[in-house]
């Protein structure tokens, strides 16, 4: 099903553009901070989105393993410059007390002899604690098994409870047993972008019990009037689950199931197909909810330990295989969606603050533990607060 408006489709299918800005010149008043590399390597594939998001007083963390593509942690030395107040630790760069406003951060990846192999800069947008206070924020969260687990939607709701935050009203037809009474969403195990557009079972709908939680029919797809097949009807979904009112904010976190089976050495065809489906769903949502902001969370990175993949997949899939696919997927998401960022579209790199060791159990490759889910929620919260403050472009 293609969007009915060619102009709308063209708008969402924009062209790729650069995602790393040129490095700034001039000395850093506080001096650079560096991590220590361990062995010779020449292609770090440095991945630093042009925009990062923080909230005043909430620590901002960037884990080294997510910024470069490395089979062994510590392959590259990373140098951080310009952002005041940040400290380079053993596993991550941390800014414990971000100050409201915009700051520049430059990251360089160095080789074994100290040579600069790659360099990128970004703007850190830090929202005041009071951003969006007392605003009722109607929010729809769409995702896969990570969203079904409900841990990060729950924590996002909790983060919004203190004074100075928006009143988060979560829209959805799905409320797993693990969800708080106020938390609903559309998160289903094994789902891809395409499933939300097309999945339909004429025999009726049901949601399987347990962590997989497969659903027979997309919550956005309904039977055609003539009774032959299903059709995407987002307004009908809003009528049934949101009192006829489209959301203010739609948060998407998908991509793992779309691309998990790609070839690590040649993932491009699968990734392109995934992003084609993402464009379709984004275009359809933009048409149905023209005043909403659509926030795409960059697909989170995995557990740093192979043991998690061995426990889940034996020898079928490896941590290093998926890490290469996921890194390329995020690069392509930034290339393809990044140039379109504006009032209606955001990219939120929430996964950069997900601890790849302490944020995962040792027996799961892609599903975080409670701490990891909370870190994801904090990254989403930061993006949301900056959006509310209009601190980012």
Q: What is the mean pLDDT of residues 28-40?
A: 43
243 with 335, same domain: the answer is yes
109-151 pLDDT tens trace:
999 889 999 999 999 999 999 999 989 999 999 999 999 999 9
Whether residue 182 has pLDDT greater than 60: yes
**pTM of structure:** 0.88
Domain with 81 in it: what CATH number? 2.60.40.1080
239 with 309, same domain: the answer is yes
Examine residue 50 and state whether it is found in any structural domain, yes or no: yes
The token pair at 116 is 């600069």
Domain boundary among 127, 151, 186: 127
65 with 180, same domain: the answer is no
278 with 146, same domain: the answer is yes
Domain boundary among 92, 108, 127: 127
Whether residue 266 has pLDDT greater than 90: yes
74 with 97, same domain: the answer is yes
Look at 24 and 365; give whichever has higher pLDDT: 365
Domain with 145 in it: what CATH number? 3.40.50.1110
- Please state, rounded to an integer, the average pLDDT across all residues of the chain: 88
CA end-to-end distance (rounded Å), the chain:
31
The per-residue pLDDT for 7 is: 28
The per-residue pLDDT for 1 is: 39
The per-residue pLDDT for 32 is: 47
- Lowest average pLDDT, out of 72-86, 113-127, 252-266, goes to 72-86
Whether residue 207 has pLDDT greater than 70: no
The per-residue pLDDT for 206 is: 60
Examine residue 314 and state whether it is found in any structural domain, yes or no: yes
67 with 152, same domain: the answer is no
154 with 186, same domain: the answer is yes
Whether residue 22 has pLDDT greater than 80: no
H or E element, residue 270: helix 268-288
pLDDT band at 12 (very low <50, low <70, confident <90, very high): very low
146 with 295, same domain: the answer is yes
284 with 322, same domain: the answer is yes
Q: What is the mean pLDDT of residues 358-370?
A: 98
Question: Could you give the CA distance from residue 371 to residue 358 in angstroms, rounded to a whole number?
Answer: 7
The per-residue pLDDT for 37 is: 46
Q: 134: burial class by Cβ within 10 Å (0-12, 13-18, 19+)? A: exposed
Specify the pairing of strand 33-34 against strand 293-297.
unpaired
H or E element, residue 102: strand 101-110
114 with 157, same domain: the answer is no
Domain boundary among 86, 101, 127: 127
53 with 155, same domain: the answer is no
145 with 108, same domain: the answer is no
The per-residue pLDDT for 119 is: 97
Residue percentage of the chain with pLDDT more than 90: 80
Is there a contact between 333 and 272 (Cβ–Cβ < 8 Å)?
no
* Residue-number span of the structural domain to which 86 is assigned: 33-127
Examine residue 173 and state whether it is found in any structural domain, yes or no: yes
Does residue 312 come out as left (phi exceeding 0), alpha (psi in the -120 to 50 range) or beta?
A: alpha
The per-residue pLDDT for 390 is: 79
Examine residue 233 and state whether it is found in any structural domain, yes or no: yes
Examine residue 381 and state whether it is found in any structural domain, yes or no: yes
Whether residue 20 has pLDDT greater than 50: no
Whether residue 21 has pLDDT greater than 90: no
């Amino acid at each position: 099903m293609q969007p009915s408006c060619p102009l709308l489709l063209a708008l969402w299918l924009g062209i790729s553009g650069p995602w790393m800005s040129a490095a700034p010149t001039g000395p850093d008043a506080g001096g650079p901070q560096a991590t220590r590399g361990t062995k010779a390597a020449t292609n770090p594939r440095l991945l630093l989105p042009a925009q990062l998001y923080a909230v005043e007083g909430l620590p901002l963390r960037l884990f080294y393993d997510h910024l470069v593509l490395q089979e062994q942690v510590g392959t590259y030395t990373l140098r951080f410059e310009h952002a005041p107040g940040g400290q380079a630790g053993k596993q991550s760069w941390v800014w414990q007390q971000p100050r409201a406003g915009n700051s520049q951060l430059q990251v360089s990846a160095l080789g074994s002899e100290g040579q600069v192999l790659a360099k990128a800069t970004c703007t850190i947008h830090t929202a005041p604690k009071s951003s969006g206070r007392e605003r009722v924020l109607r929010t729809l969260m769409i995702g896969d098994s990570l969203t079904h687990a409900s841990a990060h939607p729950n924590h996002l709701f909790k983060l919004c409870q203190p004074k100075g935050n928006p009143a988060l009203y979560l829209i959805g037809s799905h409320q797993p047993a693990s969800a708080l009474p106020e938390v609903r969403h559309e998160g289903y195990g094994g789902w891809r972008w395409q499933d939300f557009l097309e999945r339909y079972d004429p025999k009726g709908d049901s949601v399987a019990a347990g962590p997989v939680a497969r659903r027979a029919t997309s919550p956005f797809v309904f039977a055609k009037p003539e009774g032959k097949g299903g059709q995407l009807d987002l307004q009908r979904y809003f009528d049934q689950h949101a009192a006829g009112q489209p959301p203010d904010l739609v948060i998407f976190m998908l991509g793992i199931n779309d691309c998990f089976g790609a070839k690590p050495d040649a993932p491009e065809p699968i990734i392109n197909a995934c992003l084609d489906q993402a464009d379709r769903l984004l275009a359809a949502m933009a048409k149905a909810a023209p005043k909403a902001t659509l926030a795409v969370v960059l697909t989170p990175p995995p557990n740093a330990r192979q043991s998690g993949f061995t426990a889940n997949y034996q020898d079928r899939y490896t941590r290093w295989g998926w890490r290469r696919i996921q890194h390329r997927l995020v690069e392509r998401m930034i290339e393809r969606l990044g140039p379109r960022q504006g009032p209606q579209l955001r990219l939120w790199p929430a996964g950069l603050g997900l601890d790849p060791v302490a944020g995962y159990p040792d027996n799961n490759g892609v599903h975080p533990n409670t701490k990891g889910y909370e870190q994801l929620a904090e990254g989403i919260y930061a993006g949301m607060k900056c959006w509310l403050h209009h601190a980012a472009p």
